[in-house]
Amino acid sequence: FVGQSESLGMNNPVQMSEVYIIGAQPLCSQLAGLSQGQKKLCHLYQDHMQYIGEGAKTGIKECQYQFRHRRWNCSTVDNTSVFGRVMQIGSRETAFTYAVSAAGVVNAMSRACREGELSTCGCSRAARPKDLPRDWLWGGCGDNIDYGYRFAKEFVDARERERIHAKGSYESARILMNLHNNEAGRRTVYNLADVACKCHGVSGSCSLKTCWLQLADFRKVGDALKEKYDSAAAMRLNSRGKLVQVNSRFNSPTTQDLVYIDPSPDYCVRNESTGSLGTQGRLCNKTSEGMDGCELMCCGRGYDQFKTVQTERCHCKFHWCCYVKCKKCTEIVDQFVCK
Ligand SMILES: *[C@@H]1O[C@H](CO)[C@@H](O)[C@H](O)[C@H]1NC(C)=O
Ligand SMILES: *[C@@H]1O[C@H](CO)[C@@H](O)[C@H](O)[C@H]1NC(C)=O
Ligand SMILES: *[C@@H]1O[C@H](CO)[C@@H](O)[C@H](O)[C@H]1NC(C)=O
Ligand SMILES: *[C@@H]1O[C@H](CO)[C@@H](O)[C@H](O)[C@H]1NC(C)=O
């Protein structure tokens, strides 16, 4: 695995995203929510900050996609950060948000290196895979996942590492939980990266191939983390201040699994202290028996029915050459909204 001892280190990337996306090069001192160590890194690596913000935003978007049919949909009542108060309890949902945003940062940094956007890194220098056929070339410009991993670890984890806490306290358990989930997110990106190749040779004969390391599509990372969310491990602090699994009959979670320490609220009603928005006003599916079904989504409160007009492109025809012409079809559809 990539070198882990190095220390770059950041605040919850989620809070940063909004700030970074607005200004091109904001002054580090003006960024809200940076920890001391993160401010230092910000000064040292100003050109990295935009990508940290973009990465976190990608993570958040993926979170909203993965949870679009769930009661908790990755939004909160608190507008100071995208996830706001949900982060105050150490739930599975919090675990997912830390992992997916850390993953987004690795993803964005690795790609930025490859694209030559950063002064301190370039194409991947990963070693040639042993199983690559001998006559294929290794050395196209690949995503620099080693660098992305290391910088994301340094920056994203810095905030947790700086927090002052008493050993054995709830706070210390949250720090351990956050660090574990950040790492799980980063490793997911790392492990899903794969070799990509391009053909050369006379008129596409593909007699020659050049290969490089390439990030997986971020949707794959989201899907993998969603599975980890479903199987996340409940943890508690032991007497030596370490996180251990509540149910000791199960195998201990690995560094790639998600962990949590608090049970989740049901997210049915709005509750400022847990950051639950409640499901009133959410769309639901009348015929589904899953989480998106009106029964579960509306928590048994019932739903209202509306008719809405939907417009879609339809009867599309391809014209030579080269455009597609469509008609507009409108349809009246029933929609169901939680009471
Ligand atoms: C958050 O919401 C409050 C009240 O609704 C508003 O005054 C404030 O400008 C908002 N802050 C941000 C960062 O959107
Ligand atoms: C909000 O959630 C907290 C923690 O679960 C609970 O103690 C409190 O009663 C809830 N408040 C409301 C208004 O439901
Ligand atoms: C999440 O649900 C709330 C209502 O509970 C809604 O206001 C918000 O737009 C939803 N967010 C997304 C990203 O769908
Ligand atoms: C509602 O759920 C059913 C069953 O899961 C599914 O076949 C259908 O496509 C869903 N409808 C919408 C609008 O998502």
- The 10s digit of each residue's pLDDT in 92-116 is 999 999 999 999 999 999 999 999 9
- Ligand 4 neighbourhood includes 308 CB (under 6 angstroms): no
Q: Are 180 and 74 in contact (CB under 8 A)?
A: no
**Ligand 2 atom, smallest distance to 271 CA:** 1
Angle between helices 92-114 and 13-22 (to 10 degrees): 50
* Residue 210 CB–ligand 4 contact under 6 Å: no
Residue 50: per-residue pLDDT: 87
**Average pLDDT score over residue span 84-99:** 82
β strands within the chain, DSSP E: 136-138, 194-200, 208-214, 233-237, 243-245, 259-260, 270-271, 276-277, 283-284, 303-319, 323-338
Would the CB of 335 count as within 6 Å of ligand 4? no
Whose atoms come closest to the Cα of 68: which ligand?
A: 3
Helix, strand, coil: what percent of the chain each, to 5?
40, 20, 40
Q: What is the pLDDT of residues 159-215, one digit of tens each?
A: 888 888 888 899 999 999 999 999 999 999 999 999 999 888 777 778 788 999 999
Residue 286 CA: nearest ligand 4 atom is 1
Q: Is it the case that residue 285 has pLDDT exceeding 90? A: yes
The reply to whether ligand 2 has any atom less than 6 angstroms from the CB of 271 is yes
Q: Please choose from 274, 277, 279 the residue to mutate so as to test ligand 2's pocket, defined by most ligand atoms within 8 A of CB.
A: 274
Mean pLDDT of the chain: 85
Q: How confident is the model at residue 220 (pLDDT cuts 50, 70, 90)?
A: very high
- What local confidence, expressed as pLDDT, does residue 72 receive? 92
Residue 288 structure tokens: 């589904």
What CA dihedral angle connects 224, 229, 234 and 235, to 10 degrees? 60
